[in-house]
Amino acid sequence: MIPQAVDYKRAGSVSEAISLLAENPDSKILAGGHSLIPAMKLRLNSPSLLIDIARIPELRYIEVRDGGVAIGAASTHHDIISNADVQSRYGVMIEAGELIGDTQVRNVGTLGGSIAHADPSADWPAALIALNASIKVEGPNGARELSASEFFLGFFYTALEEGEIVTEVVLPAPAAGSRSVYRKFMQPASRFAIVGCAASVTIDGGTITDATVAFTGVSADGAFLDEAVGAALVGKSASLETIEAAANAAAEGVELNEDHYASKTYRKHLAKVYAKRALVGACGL
C-alpha cells in the first residue's frame, strides 16, 4: 500500500502554511497524518502536495487562558491527555482522548487534524461540543472563531472554508459544580465509536443547572449536540430517575448511522444506554 506520488513541504509558520495552501489548489494540510496517510495508501485520497504543519511551534501548546484551556491545533492527543491543566478541568477530554485509537496513534495524531477531518465516529467532536469549546480557524481572509456546534456540519464536513486551517481550540472555564465525562461503545475492530456520548453537567445544590450532551458515531451526519437530553435535565434534581427519563429522549429525530456492527435500531438503543451511563458519571451517581 503506497500513496500516489505527492510533494511534501514543511511549513514553518501558520502564515506560510496558509500561503502554500492558497498557491497549491490540490494540496492538503498534513498534521499527524493518521487519517490522511492511510487514506492515501488506499488511494482514496491523492493530493499533489502535502503541507506539514505538525512542527509549527506556534501550533503546539496547551495553556490556561481565562480559567479555561487553549490548545494549539498541532497538539497531539497524548499532549492533551497528559496535561495537568486539562486533567484537572475536563474529565471528558481525558476520557475521550484516552479512547482515541491506541498509544501510537495518540502519540502522533493531533486535535486539529482530527476535528478538521471530522470523521463521524471520532471522539473529540463530541467532547468539544459538550464543553461548548470554540475553534479558531485561519485562512487567506484572516482568522475567525466558531463554536464547536457551528464547526461540525456533517459527514467528514466542517465549516472550514477553502484555504483555512484549524489553529486553536479553546475550552471555556468549567463552571463551579460541573463535571464532564465520556462513555464510548467501541466498534471492535477499528475501535472508533459506534456510540460515543460526552456529557457535561453542572449541579447546584442537587439541581441540574446546566447540561450538554453530545454524541458521536450515532448519526450519519457526525457529532451533534442532543438538545432534547439537555433540556430534560435542566432544572431537575440529579437523580437516576431524571437521568433515565432524559436518556430516553436521546438520539430521536436524527439521521442514524448504520454498519454491519450496529443497525439503526441498535445504535439508537445504545445511544440511550450510553447517555444514561454518561449522565450517571457526570452527575456523580
Partner 1 sequence: MGNGGLIIMSNKFIGKSVKRVEDKRFITGKGRYTDDINLPGMTHAYILRSPYAHARIKSIDTSAAAAMQGVVTIMTGDEVGHYGVPCGWQVNFKNGDIMKEPPHPLLVKDKVRHVGDAVAMVVAESREIAQDAAEAIVVDYEVLPAITDASKAVEAGAPLVHDDVPNNICFDWEIGNPKAEVDEAMASAAHVTTLEFVNQRVSPNAMEPRSYIGHYDGVYDKYTLYTSTQNPHLIRLLMCAFVLGLPEHKVRVVGPDVGGGFGSKIYHYTEEALVTLAAKKTGRPVKWTETRSEAFLTDAHGRDHVTKAEMGFDGDGKIVGLRIKTFANLGAYLSTFSTAVPTYLHGTLLQGLYTTPKIHLDMTCVFTNTTAVDAYRGAGRPEATYLLERLLDLSALEMGVNPTELRLKNFIPAFDGVTQPGYQTNVALQYDSGNYHGVLHRGLEMLGYEDFRKAQKEAAASGKLLGVGFSTYIEACGIAPSAVVGSLGARAGLYEVGQVRVQPTGKVSVFTGAHSHGQGHETTFAQVVADRLGIPMEDVDIIHGDSDTVAFGMGTYGSRSLAVGGSAIMKSLDKIIEKGAKIAAHKLECSPDDIEFVDGKFTVKGTDKSLGFGDIALTAYVPHVYPANLEPGLDFSSFYDPTNFTYPFGCHIAVVEVDKETGATKVKRFIAVDDVGNVINPMIVDGQIHGGLAQGIGQALLEGVEFDGNGQIINGSYMDYAMPRADDLPMFELDRQVTPCPHNPLGVKGAGEAGCIGSTPAVVNAVIDALWSAGHQVKDIRMPLTSERVWSAMQS
Partner 2 sequence: MPKITVTVNGTQRTHDVEGRLLLVHYLRDVLGLTGTHVGCDTSSCGACTIHLDGHAVKSCSMLAAQADGATITTIEGLASGDELHPLQVGFKEEHGLQCGFCTPGMIMCAADLLKRNPNPTEQEIREGLEGNICRCTGYHNIVRAVQHAAVAP
| Residue closer to partner 1, measured from CB, 60 or 267 | 267
Q: State the DSSP code for 56.
A: -
| Residue closer to partner 2, measured from CB, 91 or 230 | 91
Structural contact between residues 232 and 246, judged by C-beta atoms closer than 8 angstroms: yes
Q: Work out which of 15, 190, 237, 239 binds partner 1, going by CB under 8 A.
A: 190
The piece of 2-10, 47-55, 149-157, 162-170 that touches partner 1 (CB under 8 A) is 2-10
Site for partner 1 in 146-175 (CB under 8 A): none
For residue 59, the SS3 value is helix
34 belongs to the binding site for partner 2 (CB under 8 A) = yes
Q: Whats the size of the chain, residue-wise?
A: 285
Site for partner 1 in 43-62 (CB under 8 A): 43
Alpha carbons 128 and 196: distance in angstroms, whole number: 12
Alpha carbons 216 and 284: distance in angstroms, whole number: 22
Minimal distance, residue 98 CB to partner 2, in Å: 9
37 belongs to the binding site for partner 2 (CB under 8 A) = yes
CA distance to 120, 168, 225, 243, per residue, from 276 (Å): 21, 31, 15, 6
Beta bridge partners of 30: 52
Site for partner 2 in 91-130 (CB under 8 A): 101-105, 107-108
24 belongs to the binding site for partner 2 (CB under 8 A) = no
Alpha carbons 184 and 193: distance in angstroms, whole number: 6
Contacted by 262, from partner 2, partner 1, none: CB < 5 to 8 Å by type: partner 1
Q: State the DSSP code for 235.
A: T
- Binding residues vs partner 1 (CB under 8 A): 1-2, 4-5, 42-43, 185, 187-190, 260-263, 266, 269-270, 273
